[in-house]
Amino acid sequence: METKYTVSFITLGCKVNQFETEAMSEILEKEGFKVLPPNEISHIYIINTCAVTKESERKSRQFINRAKRINPDSLVVAVGCSVQLNSEKINKETQADIIIGTKHKSNIGSIIKNKLNNKEYREHFYLVDDFQGRENFEELKISAVHDKTRANIKIQDGCSQFCSYCIIPYVRGPIRSRKHQDIMEEIKRIAENGYKEIVLNGIHISSYGKDLQLNNALIELIEDIENVDGIERIRLGSLEPNLITEDFMKRYSSLKKTCDHFHLSLQSGSGSVLKRMNRKYTTDEYKNNVELIRKYMPYAGITTDIIVGFPGETEEEFNETKNFVKDIKFSRIHVFKYSIREGTKAAEMDNQVDSSIKSERSKELIQLGEKISREFMEKFIGKNLSLLVEKENKENIYEGYTTNYLKVLIKSSINVKNQIINVHIKDIRNDYLLGE
């Protein structure tokens, strides 16, 4: 290319989207593009969209149009889940020049170059496939992560759970697992570039290997990563409760590099609501899995997601959720108000909950979650913890995470970013432990 084209990324949504943005960024840099921060004036803007809620879709369209306002002469590329779900709406209501669904991100460089080399490049380029023939994982690779000390590694794509509230299986397609060897090669590259912690992520990592008829693929992958020089921490992304078995915990807890942090998706503490959600476990099974974790890793941080205001959720069912949260004693909960997603079974259910009730329940559960989080944090005052320092917040004040995913602030006159250090916990300030 004669012109050194600049490109900026705007990423909405989950850790998988963040990984895919990093991978597309590396592809374009190798093709000769210069990657700039999202608020810079660039020749090209790539918006990696999200469709998990109506609000995330609205924001996706908003960012697409905002990019064109920042630079009216720019080439605007819309990719990802919102495009896959509502490509016609994106086409009609935004100023995107290139529209790509959840496939073909690995071809982003050639697609953009072909568009730029075409004198008629203002004509829309449209590439959104259905899921027929998507049996294989689309390989996207990273070797570094911009401005971060931990690397998200995508190990699978797709989901076949079809929870009644969730649109993701319709935009990401069926389960496709990444090859074990390809993951290992990427992690070795990441380690060579100085990263000490990796996080295994995907749309539904608990199903990793199932499409390949492999029953223990995830724990076998983790055991292999344990032997990679330079990687000192292995963390897992969001998990389904049924992944947690006696055998899994025995093997996982016996390793030296595995983090004692588990994000176990709950969604509701009411058994009747879980059934309507088409979740594949009961509250008793969930509780037993948590007890298994704590049997092998007593100080584990257990985080979760909870939806309030699911169709038909009664006050009694909401109280069941509150009592379950108190019983489990999560280290942190993320509360979401139910959002209708057209095309899902839940959208057609009777007894949709009023928005004001959703807001009240959300506020109440967030307050309960904050109280329980603080109680969990208080257990570590006076203890020594391992800390991976991630960034300098202000001069001589550094922030990092413990193995069980607690945030810690420390003072240091020397640069300790990307170092793993032992700290003594003295106190709590807001969401942070204070260490020295």
Q: Which residues pair with 324 in a beta bridge?
A: none
Q: Specify whether 374 is located in the same domain as 399.
A: no
Q: Specify whether 166 is located in the same domain as 74.
A: no
Query: Which position has the token pair 């203002």?
Result: 122
Question: pLDDT by residue for the chain (436 residues), tens digit each?
Answer: 456 899 999 999 999 999 999 999 999 999 999 999 988 899 999 999 999 988 999 999 999 999 999 999 999 999 999 999 988 898 888 989 999 988 888 899 989 988 888 755 555 565 666 655 556 777 787 787 766 788 999 999 999 999 999 999 999 999 999 999 999 999 999 999 999 999 999 999 999 999 999 989 999 999 999 999 999 999 999 999 999 999 999 999 999 999 999 999 999 999 999 999 999 999 999 999 999 999 999 999 999 999 999 999 999 999 999 999 999 999 999 999 999 999 999 999 999 999 999 999 999 999 999 999 999 999 999 999 999 999 988 888 999 999 999 999 999 989 999 999 999 999 999 999 999 9
User: Which of these three, 346, 362, 378, is where a domain ends?
Assistant: 378
Indicate whether 320 belongs to any domain.
yes
pLDDT of residue 406: 98
pLDDT of residue 1: 45
Q: Specify whether 299 is located in the same domain as 190.
A: yes
Q: Specify whether 190 is located in the same domain as 285.
A: yes
Return the structure tokens found at 225: 């990563």
Contact 204, 158 (CB under 8 A): yes
Q: Specify whether 99 is located in the same domain as 184.
A: no
Q: Specify whether 333 is located in the same domain as 355.
A: yes
Instruction: Show the beta-strand stretches assigned E in 284-380.
Output: 301-308, 332-337
Torsion angles phi and psi, residue 176, rounded to 5: -135, 120
Q: How many CA atoms lie within 13 A of 132 on its CB side?
A: 1
Q: Specify whether 94 is located in the same domain as 18.
A: yes
Which CATH number does the domain housing residue 309 bear?
A: 3.80.30.20
pLDDT of residue 324: 98
Indicate whether 229 belongs to any domain.
yes
Indicate whether 133 belongs to any domain.
no
Indicate whether 342 belongs to any domain.
yes
Question: How far, in Å, are 226, 253, 303, 329 from residue 300 at the CA level?
Answer: 19, 11, 10, 11
Q: Which of 160, 162, 144, 172 is nearest to 17 (CA)?
A: 172
Q: Which of 44, 59, 54 is nearest to 12 (CA)?
A: 59
Indicate whether 142 belongs to any domain.
no
Indicate whether 255 belongs to any domain.
yes
**Counting Cβ atoms within 10 Å, is residue 393 exposed (0-12), middle (13-18) or buried (19+)?**
exposed
User: Which of these three, 342, 362, 378, is where a domain ends?
Assistant: 378
User: Which of these three, 79, 112, 127, is where a domain ends?
Assistant: 127
Q: Specify whether 297 is located in the same domain as 411.
A: no
Q: Specify whether 290 is located in the same domain as 257.
A: yes
How far is residue 235's CA from residue 239's CA, in Å, rounded to a whole number? 11
Q: Specify whether 232 is located in the same domain as 360.
A: yes
Q: How many CA atoms lie within 13 A of 29 on its CB side?
A: 15
Q: What is the pTM of this model?
A: 0.91
Indicate whether 132 belongs to any domain.
no
Indicate whether 71 belongs to any domain.
yes
Q: Specify whether 362 is located in the same domain as 400.
A: no
Q: How many CA atoms lie within 13 A of 353 on its CB side?
A: 24
**Counting Cβ atoms within 10 Å, is residue 434 exposed (0-12), middle (13-18) or buried (19+)?**
middle
Q: Residue 306: give the domain boundaries.
A: 150-378
Domain count, the chain: 3
Q: How many CA atoms lie within 13 A of 187 on its CB side?
A: 31
- Cβ–Cβ contacts within 10 Å for residue 316, how many? 9
Q: Specify whether 216 is located in the same domain as 351.
A: yes
